Amino acid sequence: MKSEFAKEVVKAIEAGMHGSPFDVLGMHRREGRRPGVVVSSFQPYAKEVCVVDKGDGTHYSLSKIGADGFFEGIIADREIFEYRLRITGYDGSFIEVEDPYAFQPLISDFDLYLFGEGTDYRTYEKLGAHFRVVNDVAGIHFAVWAPNALRTSIINEFNRWDGRCLPMQQRGNSGLWELFVPGMKPGDLYKFEIKGPDGFLGQKADPYGFAAELRPRTASVVWDVRRYGWNDGEWMEQRRERQWHKEPISVYELHLSSWRRVPEEGNRWMTYRELADSLIPYVKEMGFTHIETLPVSEHPFDGSWGYQTIGYYAPTSRFGTPDDFMYFVDCCHREGIGVRWDWVPAHFPKDGHGLAYFDGTHLYEHADPRQGEHRDWGTLIFNYGRNEVKTFLLSNALFWADVYHIDGLRVDAVASMLYLDYSREAGEWIPNEFGGRENLRAVEFLKRFNELVHEQYPGFTTFAEESTAWPMVSRPTYLGGLGFDFKWNMGWMHDTLEYMSKEPVHRKYHHSNITFSLLYAFTENFILPFSHDEVVYGKRSMLDKMPGDAWQKFANLRLLYGYMYAHPGKKLLFMGADVAQWNEWNYQSSVEWNLLDFLPHQQANQCLASLNHLYRRIPELHEIDFSWEGFEWIDFHDSDQSTVSFLRKTDNPDGKHTACVFNFTPVPRMNYRMGVPALGYYREIFNSDAADFGGSNVINGGGVMSEDVAWMGQPCSIAISLPPLSAVWFRYEG
């Protein structure tokens, strides 16, 4: 039989080199000849292929034209009709399937325009793999951006991962390829095979894939992310009205792989649902307001802790399915706990199945290594100047807020995004168009990110991990800021830990480490972090950083936490510090929960819980964190005794305030006089030296009356017993 198509076309289909398969495959009218239709199908593993009329069941055999499985048949005197393909294998078995090339592309021209323009911020609703019913036929619609590809195909188990079998249709000049595949369903595995320029042939996971196989496997998994039934409506409605700058935020940062493992079952990870049952009650009991996880998005290398992301739209399969992760978030919300996690739009790994060199060109990254390579981490930097790349990332941020009800994102490595010369020597970077070192495209991206998430999801919060003096990180974009809600106070963290690591006898020579932070405390909306980065790679655990013998180490740690919770700024503490762990964090093992069998660790844990609950209950400790109106020094000059004291205040007319004093030496100070603003009773609401916390129990009998004795610039004063290595808070009761 003579083919309707030229030999070159048949060979191109069989070789997987045809970029417009709908021109050849499927059913087409015969033009200029005897009326009828021609049907073509490429089935390299079939012995026979028939067309089955859906209307009357008539079978029409196709002839094998090419050597590698190109089948074709002419059906005379027929107009286009609905049909299926009956495919018979060499073993005699057969299946009857819908022909993907009987279904026209689904993405509209308007969607293509918005995508190219970079203004479609919900591209996850079109790209990737989506369950669809087209002409009463169920299947999965696939779409991927690969503008420089010569051919893009869907490969899966059904077609034996053969890229010749399901070539996708290119949509004009948009760079998008799409195909509706009938019969595929949620749970099916797939990848994109991309034939690019210069002989490139890659098998890529879906950049917009909603689920992925567990490493070391690398396929994407079809998933319907809209099927979960949420029960957190009350939380979500209330979140819209929350004024987070005036509310307590105490974040429990954790790494899901190593928070708690199951040693009796091979030290396996806990699942999302198991974490919901154990982590949430613990966090609630401890008084934390939020959980912040290290990146949840899919990543191939455990040792990256999630910071080298491959699946930006897929929660990692290590702990369960996307539905399981939704259940975890849902349970947190129903218990009044917010959920945020670390987001990494700064860089991505070079793994062959990921975004790197995606279509045989530098698509998501810069081609020039002076712009496109992160030498510190061996990763690639996103090209923020490309509309489609910005849309990929901006849509991703909205995706987690929309689909997973995430309450906020902490953006990792912001400093590396802002500066073109970040960690580069002279000659290793390219200045911007004005000759400066600022990455203007990244700045624009960060601003737009913050504008979008706040416009579309009121109550959603963003945090910047930014370690430089870039101005106005946490100020609105309309004032010239980057638009973040909060910025991690890396300077405070560094200075405080450096000070606390000193032997107390030497602390008087480093007094400014404790007082300096108040010179800039209100220039940004700061969060005070003791994060995972501070308890790894030889930096020692929080407890082991403290000097002295065992008793002094615990006392110093309680003092540190008392100082942190009194200091202006929201709070963040990494797991393990809550049980006063001796060892550094190890991502391959659990927090050392067995330490809670020992009294000093129990008491340190109880001290932290008390701080959290007090912090949430006492308005002056959190209502005015970002302005001088909420803070007043009492005394910051006493370097010889290594003590500082200050007031935390509110703008309420009742005049309530809390006086906080800190003794950074092991010397108790009896009849220590401290200035206070008013006459009346000052109740001792926290004392880190209390016996219940493992201290020496130098306490003040529940509180003290102030005296009409001016002191330290205050009109009144109290005479107190100031314990060794202690934080003590007194609340004015009138």
Q: Which two tokens stand for residue 600?
A: 């000093």
Residue 269's alpha-carbon distances to 257, 320, 355, 536, in angstroms, are 6, 10, 27, 20
Q: Which two tokens stand for residue 430?
A: 């390219």
Task: Return the C-alpha torsion angle 363, 364, 368, 374, nearest 10.
Answer: -150
If residue 493 lies in a helix (H) or strand (E), which one and from where to where?
A: helix 490-500
Is residue 547 within 8 Å of residue 499, measured between CB atoms?
Answer: no
Catalytic residue among 111, 323, 412, 625: 412
Classify each residue of 632-659 as buried b or exposed e, where b means 16 or more C-beta atoms within 10 Å of its C-beta.
eebbbeebebbbbbbbbbbeeeeebbbb
Angle at 138 between CA 132 and CA 144, to 5 degrees: 45
Helix, strand or coil, per DSSP, at residue 392: helix
Candidates 673, 671, 670, 639; CA nearest to 659 is 673
If residue 718 lies in a helix (H) or strand (E), which one and from where to where?
A: strand 716-722
DSSP notation for 123-145: GGGTSEEEEEEETTEEEEEEEEE
How would you write 169-222 as a 3-class SS string?
Answer: EECCCCCEEEEEEECCCCCCEEEEEEECHHHCEEEECCCCCCEECCCCCCCEEC
Dist CA 305 CA 289 (whole Å): 23
Angle at 309 between CA 303 and CA 312, to 5 degrees: 150
Q: Are strands 268-269 and 526-530 parallel, antiparallel or unpaired?
A: unpaired
Q: Are strands 461-464 and 408-411 parallel, antiparallel or unpaired?
A: parallel
Candidates 605, 592, 719; CA nearest to 659 is 719
232 is catalytic: no
Dist CA 2 CA 10 (whole Å): 12
Q: Which two tokens stand for residue 255?
A: 């790494």
Question: Does the CA dihedral 441-360-177-207 come out positive or negative?
Answer: negative
The helix/strand count (H/E) of the chain reads as 14, 39
State the amino acid at position 664 in one-letter form: F
Dist CA 220 CA 212 (whole Å): 4
465 is catalytic: yes
Angle at 194 between CA 190 and CA 196, to 5 degrees: 175
Question: Which alpha helices (DSSP H) does 240-360 contain, by range?
Answer: 272-286, 322-334
Residue 303's alpha-carbon distances to 211, 258, 325, 377, in angstroms, are 21, 12, 21, 12
Catalytic residue among 253, 373, 465, 578: 465
Is residue 106 within 8 Å of residue 178, measured between CB atoms?
Answer: yes
Classify each residue of 389-409 as buried b or exposed e, where b means 16 or more C-beta atoms within 10 Å of its C-beta.
bbbbbbbbbbbbbbbbbbbbb
Radius of gyration of the chain (CA): 31
DSSP notation for 500-522: HTS-GGGGGGGTHHHHGGGGTTT
If residue 614 lies in a helix (H) or strand (E), which one and from where to where?
A: helix 599-617
Candidates 420, 425, 465; CA nearest to 443 is 420
Is residue 636 within 8 Å of residue 644, measured between CB atoms?
Answer: yes
Residues annotated catalytic, as ranges: 412, 465
